[in-house]
Amino acid sequence: MKKPTLKQKVIRGFIYFLLICITINTLLPLYFVVIASFNPGNSLFSTKMFPETLTTKHYRDLFEKKDYAIWYMNTLKIALCSMVLTVILVIITSYTLSQFRFRGRKTGLMFMLVMTMFPGFMSMIAIYLLLLQVGLLDTHLGLILVYSGGNIAGFTWLVKGYFDGIPRSIPEAAKIDGAGNATVFTRIMLPISFPIITFVAVSSFIGPWMDYIFARLVLRTPSKKTLAIGLFEMVTGRQNTEFTMFAAGAILVALPVTILYMSLQKYLIQGLSECASKI
């Protein structure tokens, strides 16, 4: 085995140094937020790197003095329903566009491709007026439909590319054996596409879980607030200075997302890598 040259050692050392700097830059703000959530008082700043006293008072106050539990359940309901609806619509649409040929197919694909080029906030006025007309403004159902509708175009192209990469011989062999389209879809294509379905499910869950803009646009009633709205109102205005309670709430918001990513990391990477190679 060849020994690395001096130049290679310098390059490798620089890369390691750069990675360490990026890691510190990423983890240091997170560390300060975690410490602030256990820090007595309302200030995010501390004169010491490691505080002498820590408290869980801010976590208790979230549930005792605020409607944090209600916000949490509202957000969980909206995120889960949006995820389920998005996955169902995206899988059915992408499979149909990939495996079948019919009139208007190319037009539909081009329309969805064009839709992905426009940012979501461009449709805010239209969404507001539409929900107002159909009576879904200030409802969780209206917000679920907004999130699901916004996800369909981009995810459909992604999953369609995955289905396109599956060899045609697999579903054709099943049909020769007497399997119908429904059987091929549920028994063969869905298990094969599990990694990309996992990616779509996690991504469509994260969006509603962390979103503030559309939640603020649609929801008005205090009892229907989501986590993003409730936490934002903690630190806005002259009288709202509950920064440490905000930090505690932010940690609880990030916790399930972190667990979700860590537990499904294998499928997320597999889904993206296979999709990229198939496209």
- Specify the pLDDT at position 79: 94
User: Could you say which DSSP state residue 29 is in?
Assistant: H
CATH architecture classification, 62-278: Orthogonal Bundle (1.10)
Query: Concatenated DSSP letters for 219-230?
Result: --SGGG--HHHH
Nearest to 38 by CA among 15, 57, 65, 63: 57
Q: With contact defined as beta carbons under 8 Å apart, do 199 and 267 qualify?
A: yes
Each residue's pLDDT tens digit, 204-224: 999 899 899 899 999 988 889
List, for the chain, all residue ranges whose pLDDT scores fall below the cut of 50: none
- Specify the pLDDT at position 88: 93
- Specify the pLDDT at position 271: 64
Give the residue range(s) of CATH 1.10.3720.10 domains in the chain. Answer: 62-278
- Specify the pLDDT at position 226: 93
Task: Round the average pLDDT of the chain to a whole number and report it.
Answer: 84
Residue 164 CA, chain-centre distance (Å), reads 25
Each residue's pLDDT tens digit, 30-72: 888 888 888 877 666 665 667 777 788 888 888 887 888 899 9
